Amino acid sequence: MSKVSAKSRTAYVCSECGADYPKWQGQCEACGAWNTLSEIALEPAASARAPAQRRSGWAGKVDAPKITALADVRLEAQVRASTGIGEFDRVLGGGLAEGAVVLVGGDPGIGKSTLLLQALAKMAPALPGLYVTGEESLAQVAGRAQRLGLPLDGLKALAETCVERILEHAVAARPRLLVADSIQTLWTETLTAAPGSVSQVRESAARLVRYAKETGTAVFLVGHVTKEGGIAGPRVLEHMVDAVLYFEGDSGSRFRVLRAFKNRFGAVNELGVFAMSDAGLREVANPSAIFLSGMGAAQPGSCVMVTREGTRPLLVEVQALVDASPLSNPRRVVVGLEGNRLALLLAVLHRHGGVMVGDQDVFLNVVGGIRVQETAADLPVLLAVLSSLRDRPLAEKTVAFGEVGLSGEIRPVPNGEERLREAASHGFKRAIVPRANAPKSGHYKGLEVVAVERLAEALEQA
């Protein structure tokens, strides 16, 4: 039962059981959990009953919500605004939707602010924008824009961290695009918690989301990440927004990968590839050529695979290094792939391939800093491991893809024809694929397709 009075403006809610209290205390009396109470702001009853209005369309026409049968809803093509950056549009699902709230996360210095500032400048002639900075001064923002060669006349910025004052300026300026950098620095006057706390992040984001939906303004929220790689703050933050984008990339590489983990307006796991330069982030139209640009002659322990990210296939190189281990417990180091998946594949290689690597250190890396999450990488990984163990390279211009089952079968993967087309377009001559993904002719546009059903057969063909 609630203990919060009607006059209270804030309450403290337990994240474990949902019980609320008028003031903070260390232990929740309902479930007994410790340090689980976080402050939330309470909406007045009158405002909760008032019908909300929202603006529909980029033009800003005001509509009142009403109950409608879905059979009577007229489906129309959603209006999209191009950001002027093709790879960014691809990740967003074809452009920026009206009233969309997009959360962009990534490591410090990876290019989040740079990308959004570039998009804001390119969209300024069609959609006026406002860049709200809570971490930098206006001089720093202007200096970055000048270094990137962006036109300063069309860019408007605001140095503010209070959400109420940000919304006051936004209502007066009426921007169609708002960037908040970052959500962890914002705070609201209705809460007493410090900026960056769970309650402040949640309430600040909720107010910006409400503003975006009521006015049709697109909002970008920049989020900090924790040492585990997730966005700092409450998990509910990712549920509140329409899209969650993560920047990935090695600090020593100039390539950056923007991946969509959630998108209500487009495909999930869509991928955009950028290259960091003196003029900011430059989009890479042909990522496969970039990822394979460092390849020379065939080397032991190397295999090219065709992975699929979102709506496009990509050619990436998998490298393996197998060496005798001086340790009683050999090491398994994986970069760009799931570590537990490697242990499973090595067990299948031993049982159904007759290859023992239990006394060997196995190091695995996906070149280019990309992270592969699909099971089509199983067969290329095992071919690279065997190539390194035998110190014999695979035949030149060979690619592979396929899922490996626990009983040693090679399972098909989706969109096999598109993968073969991508490999053929880059000059590859031979492909080792599951039999269900192979064309009937055995060749595909000059590409010899070797269809396999079992792991032992694939190792023999390789």
Q: Which of 316, 277, 290, 311 is nearest to 91 (CA)?
A: 311
70 domain-assigned: no
Residues 361, 457: one domain? Answer: yes
Nearest-5° angle of CA 136, CA 142, CA 145? Answer: 110
Rounded to 10 degrees, the C-alpha dihedral 158/164/165/170 comes to 60
- The reported pLDDT for the residue numbered 60 is 52
- The reported pLDDT for the residue numbered 30 is 87
Residues 173, 304: one domain? Answer: no
Per-residue pLDDT tens over the stretch 16-67:
777 888 888 999 988 888 988 888 877 654 444 444 444 545 555 555 678 8
How far is residue 441 CA from its own chain's centroid? Answer: 38
Residues 410, 275: one domain? Answer: no
For the domain that residue 190 is a member of, what is the CATH number? 3.40.50.300
pLDDT of 204 strictly over 50: yes
Residues 241, 376: one domain? Answer: no
pLDDT of 9 strictly over 50: yes
- 3-class DSSP state for residue 345? helix
Per-residue pLDDT tens over the stretch 101-135:
999 998 888 999 999 999 999 999 999 999 999 99
Tokens representing residue 260 in the block: 């969509």
Share of the chain above pLDDT 70, in %: 90
49 domain-assigned: no
Q: Which of 281, 279, 408, 395 is nearest to 353 (CA)?
A: 408
Count of the separate structural domains present in the chain: 3
Q: How confident is the model at residue 2 (pLDDT cuts 50, 70, 90)?
A: low
Burial class from Cβ neighbours inside 10 Å (0-12, 13-18, 19+) for residue 142 reads middle
Residues 265, 316: one domain? Answer: no
- The reported pLDDT for the residue numbered 263 is 93
62 domain-assigned: no
14 domain-assigned: yes
User: Does residue 222 contact residue 113 with C-beta atoms inside 8 Å?
Assistant: yes
pLDDT of 5 strictly over 70: no
72 domain-assigned: no
User: Does residue 200 contact residue 188 with C-beta atoms inside 8 Å?
Assistant: yes
Residues 322, 410: one domain? Answer: yes
| CA dihedral over 256, 261, 262, 268, signed as positive or negative | positive
- Range 7-21 average pLDDT: 77
Residues 38, 87: one domain? Answer: no
Q: Which residue has the tokens 């090219």?
A: 304
How far is residue 68 CA from its own chain's centroid? Answer: 34
Domain boundary among 233, 266, 285: 285
- Range 340-345 average pLDDT: 93
- The reported pLDDT for the residue numbered 52 is 44
Tokens representing residue 400 in the block: 């592979």
Residues 332, 256: one domain? Answer: no
Q: Which residues of 289-317 are buried (b: 16+ CB within 10 A; e: fewer)?
A: ebbbeeeeebebbbbbbbbbbbebbbbbb
How far is residue 240 CA from its own chain's centroid? Answer: 16
- The reported pLDDT for the residue numbered 50 is 40
Cα–Cα distance between 226 and 85 in angstroms, integer?
Answer: 28
- The reported pLDDT for the residue numbered 47 is 45
Residues 240, 217: one domain? Answer: yes
User: Does residue 335 contact residue 364 with C-beta atoms inside 8 Å?
Assistant: yes
- The reported pLDDT for the residue numbered 6 is 46
Domain that holds residue 29: 10-43
59 domain-assigned: no
Residues 216, 319: one domain? Answer: no
Q: How confident is the model at residue 309 (pLDDT cuts 50, 70, 90)?
A: confident
Tokens representing residue 119 in the block: 């998009």
Burial class from Cβ neighbours inside 10 Å (0-12, 13-18, 19+) for residue 137 reads exposed
Residues 395, 413: one domain? Answer: yes
pLDDT of 401 strictly over 80: yes
pLDDT of 336 strictly over 80: yes
Per-residue pLDDT tens over the stretch 173-188:
999 999 999 999 999 9
Nearest-5° angle of CA 21, CA 184, CA 260? Answer: 110
Per-residue pLDDT tens over the stretch 260-292:
999 998 888 788 989 888 888 999 888 888 778
Residues 310, 261: one domain? Answer: no
Cα–Cα distance between 138 and 352 in angstroms, integer?
Answer: 62
Angle between helices 138-147 and 112-123 (to 10 degrees): 80
75 domain-assigned: no
- The reported pLDDT for the residue numbered 77 is 65
Domain boundary among 250, 285, 320: 285
For the domain that residue 364 is a member of, what is the CATH number? 3.30.230.10
Cα–Cα distance between 386 and 357 in angstroms, integer?
Answer: 9
58 domain-assigned: no
Q: How many CB atoms lie within 10 A of CB 277?
A: 10
Distances (CA, A) of 384 to 319, 399, 408, 412: 6, 11, 17, 19
Q: How confident is the model at residue 191 (pLDDT cuts 50, 70, 90)?
A: confident
- The reported pLDDT for the residue numbered 64 is 64
